[in-house]
Structures are given as structure tokens and as C-alpha cells.
């Protein structure tokens, strides 16, 4: 049987570059790999934000990725990190998927967990007036504390410099779903019966393990759940990414 296509979805304030190591690895192993940029994320980090980011929402991101899925010759395994993990579930709900790999997934409406650490991470954004109607970008200090904890300083600093602007509306829809009349982050989990893998670092601050556990419980197909000891939210550096890849390899072999 041919190896399934893999489609990778990056997270908030991020770009497709985070998947370079994984994409090269799985292309070399014989997979077709797609790594789309979310709308208005394929930009120079130094550029000012597009005004459209003030109004774009979760469904716009889902529609953009779903359009890529529909160009593939067969159903892919959809892999997402952070916000990309939440979007992966929404895309799979819309298009189906051969499998799901959710790395440090952001919460859907049904997988919320009240915790101080995520609030501290985005505090600099949410204290701004009507932040949900503006483009957002996390500051370096809070990114270092909430996203890049447990990451070597040189790697963290390089990644922080690559962060781009994102949508305040999307952050609102994910973090305060009970106030979102569009129910954009709500997932119909009865449609997610495909095999799934959920991986999270046990020191994740911005999407804590309680969210990953709630996500694993909500999925209705066979689900493997793994916590990586000593890892934070960022899973793209050695030796953490090797551990993530080992879990992905095992999952893909089962498919």
C-alpha cells in the first residue's frame, strides 16, 4: 500500500518553516508532503500586519487548508501544532482524513481547560483595548516564557525573530469560545473517528497537558496519547523533535 500524503499545519504567529525538518524527513521516507501557509502568514516578520488580520477568523483558516486537502489524490494524515492542532481537527471534520497527529494542540470549544499559564502567556495582548478586533503578535518576553520554555536560548531567540502577525479574532475564538456566537472552534467529534495521535510536552504552558488530555478523550476513533517528559510547547528542536518523530513513525506504521 502506498504511503499516505502528509499535510502539516503550523500554529499561531508561526509560518511553514517550523516543519522543514519533519517535511524533509518524511519526503525522504516516500511520503507526499504539503505544508501550506495560513492566510496572510507567508510574509516577512518585519512587515506590518495586513489589515485583513483584524477580521479574519478560524473558519477562514479552515477553508484555506481544506482547499489544499481537496487537491490531494487521496486522503492525507493531517498534522498540526498548537493552533494548527485545533485547525487539523476542524479540517478533518470538513474533509475527512486518513489520520490525525495533534502536537501540543490548542483547545477546541470542547477541550478547554482553565489555567493561569496560558493567560500569563497572552497577557500582553489581551490587556490591549479591543484586542480581538486587531492583528496580534506576542512579545518576546512572554513568548520566551510561555512558548519557548525548555528551549535553548539561541534557538528560542532565532524562532522569536521569525514570528509574524496573526488574527486577534482567531485568538478570541479559540480562547473564549463561550463568547463566540459563530461557534468557530466547536468540533463535531462524531466525525473524527479516524486513528489519532496526541503528543504534548509535560511542561507546556500555553496549551497545557489538560487540554491535550481533554482532546484525546473527545476524539472518537482509536487514539494514542503521549506526554514527552521535560518538553514545553515548542517541539521542533533536538532531542525533542526526534522523540516526536519516533511517535509519528510508530503511528504511521499502524496506518
Residues sharing a CB contact under 8 Å with residue 151, sequence separation 6 or more, in sequence order: 159, 232, 234, 237
167 SS3 class: strand
The strand ranges marked E within the chain are 6-9, 33-34, 77-81, 99-103, 135-136, 166-167, 196-201, 223-228
pLDDT given at position 115: 82
CA dihedral for 45, 202, 131, 81, sign (positive or negative): positive
pLDDT given at position 82: 98
Residues sharing a CB contact under 8 Å with residue 80, sequence separation 6 or more, in sequence order: 8, 9, 10, 11, 86, 87, 88, 89, 101, 102, 103, 105
pLDDT given at position 114: 79
Helices (H) and strands (E) in the chain, counts: 10, 8
Domains of the chain: 6-254 (3.40.50.1820)
- Please give the chain's pLDDT, 255 residues, in tens: 689 999 999 999 999 999 999 999 999 999 999 999 999 999 999 999 999 999 999 999 999 999 999 999 999 999 999 999 999 999 999 999 999 999 999 999 999 987 889 888 998 999 999 999 999 999 999 999 999 999 999 999 999 999 999 999 999 999 999 999 999 999 999 999 999 999 999 999 999 999 999 999 999 999 999 999 999 999 999 999 999 999 999 999 999
pLDDT given at position 1: 63
202 SS3 class: coil
Are the C-beta atoms of 65 and 9 separated by less than 8 Å?
yes
23 SS3 class: helix
Amino acid at each position: 500500500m502506498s504511503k499516505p500524503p502528509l499535510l502539516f499545519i503550523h500554529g499561531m504567529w508561526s509560518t511553514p518553516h517550523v516543519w522543514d525538518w519533519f517535511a524533509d524527513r518524511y519526503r525522504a521516507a516516500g511520503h507526499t508532503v504539503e505544508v501550506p501557509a495560513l492566510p496572510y502568514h507567508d510574509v516577512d516578520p518585519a512587515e506590518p500586519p495586513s489589515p485583513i488580520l483584524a477580521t479574519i477568523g478560524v473558519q477562514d483558516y479552515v477553508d484555506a487548508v481544506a482547499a489544499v486537502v481537496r487537491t490531494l489524490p487521496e486522503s492525507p494524515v493531517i498534522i498540526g501544532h498548537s493552533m494548527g492542532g485545533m485547525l487539523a481537527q476542524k479540517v478533518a471534520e470538513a474533509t475527512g482524513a486518513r489520520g490525525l497527529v495533534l502536537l501540543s494542540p490548542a483547545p477546541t470549544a470542547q477541550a478547554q481547560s482553565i489555567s493561569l499559564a496560558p493567560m500569563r502567556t497572552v497577557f500582553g495582548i489581551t490587556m490591549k483595548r479591543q484586542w480581538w478586533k486587531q492583528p496580534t503578535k506576542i512579545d518576546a518576553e512572554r513568548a520566551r516564557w510561555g512558548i519557548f520554555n525548555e528551549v535553548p536560548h539561541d534557538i528560542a531567540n532565532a524562532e522569536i525573530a521569525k514570528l509574524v502577525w496573526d488574527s486577534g479574532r482567531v485568538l478570541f475564538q479559540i480562547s473564549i469560545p463561550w463568547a463566540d456566537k459563530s461557534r468557530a472552534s466547536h468540533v463535531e467529534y462524531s466525525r473524527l473517528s479516524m486513528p489519532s495521535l496526541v503528543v504534548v510536552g509535560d511542561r507546556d504552558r500555553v496549551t497545557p497537558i489538560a487540554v491535550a488530555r481533554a482532546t484525546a478523550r473527545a476524539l472518537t476513533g482509536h487514539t494514542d496519547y503521549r506526554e514527552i517528559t521535560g518538553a514545553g510547547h515548542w517541539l521542533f528542536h533536538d532531542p525533542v523533535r526526534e522523540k516526536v518523530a519516533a511517535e509519528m513513525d510508530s503511528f504511521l506504521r499502524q496506518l
